[in-house]
Amino acid sequence: MYTTNEEGILNNYAIEPPIHFAEYPSLEQQKRYVLQGTIALLLVVSTFLTALAVS
């Protein structure tokens, strides 16, 4: 879709996708997010402690 002004310049507009609302995560998904966050935290802490021990 585009429009043209009086000087002949085109104004292009992106096609917008339809909007949908996110659904609240289920209890199983929430538990998985907690597990992933815990694993990520342990990875970061262990990396930091390893760097601290080596230096």
More confident residue, 37 or 15: 37
Q: Which residues contact 13 (CB under 8 A, 6 or more apart)?
A: 1, 2, 3
- Which band of pLDDT confidence, cut at 50, 70 and 90, is reported for residue 2? low
Residue 38 to residue 45: CA distance in whole angstroms: 11
Q: pTM of the entire structure?
A: 0.59
Q: What is the pLDDT of residues 12-30, one digit of tens each?
A: 777 788 999 999 999 999 9
